[in-house]
Amino acid sequence: MKALLSLFGKSPFKPLQSHMEKVRECATRLSPLVSAVLGGDEETQKKLVDEICAMESEADKIKNDIRSHLPRSLFLPVDRRDLLEILAFQDAMADTCQDIAITLTLRKASLHADLKKPLEDLVREVTTTCARAADVTQELDELLETGFGGKEADRVLKMVDQIDADETIADDTAIVIARKLFELERQLEPVDVMYWFHMFRRLHELADLADSAGNRVRLLLAR
């Protein structure tokens, strides 16, 4: 009796999904945070940054829990390394969100009116890419149920293709805004230019990480 019960290890798929949900929570707060920063609403800024930090630390807890329950003797339907890589990318997403949030509130930087709309666009594109990656992670238990194949796999692969497309759009948006920033460089404070360029880069990186996390799912489905 004991033998059969102890045969079943702690499945990492559900925790991986709840980890990704925390990441999603972080990412969705970036848009309102940017609005609050641009609008100078310090109270909302503080509230959102606190929430993002709390989410990030919850995600960290889940991450540590997954790692400590993933001994080598655990037999998984997918490669253990692929799973850990997905987790690493998700973790990096949470970290980057937190970093972006904190950096956004570090200094009162003024943003040129021409850059406001593009920044909102960029944040939206990046958040969409993150959400799409989260959707893919949410498909993992369905994939497990169908045994990582068939039409469910095809569907998830389509979703991953979609992330790629989203990431490309985020790329383009980042390039547009950076170009605009440097067009305006003579009218702006040098520190502001560097600061915003750094912010754009970080946002762009977040989209990259989401894309990488989603694309690792391809490896789970590769035969």
Q: Which CB sits closer to another protein, 10 or 81? A: 10
DSSP 139: T
- Least distance in Å: CB of 60 to another protein? 22
Q: Give the nearest distance from C-beta 71 to another protein in angstroms.
A: 8
Residue closer to another protein (CB basis): 16 or 49 = 16
End-to-end Cα separation, the chain, in angstroms: 35
Taking the complex as a whole, how short is the minimal distance between the CB of residue 160 and another protein, in angstroms?
A: 12
> For residues 129 and 167, what is the distance between their CA atoms, to the nearest angstrom?
6
Least Cα distance to 217 among 5, 68, 20, 49 occurs for: 20
Least gap, CB of 159 to another protein (angstroms): 7
**Site of interaction with another protein (CB under 8 A):** 1-13, 73-78, 121, 128, 135, 138-139, 142, 144-152, 155, 158-159, 162, 169, 176
Between 61 and 69, name the residue whose CB sits nearer to another protein: 69
Whether the CB-CB separation of 30 and 98 falls below 8 Å is answered with no
DSSP codes of every residue in 189-217: -HHHHHHHHHHHHHHHHHHHHHHHHHHHH
Pick the closer one to another protein by CB: 159 or 178. 159
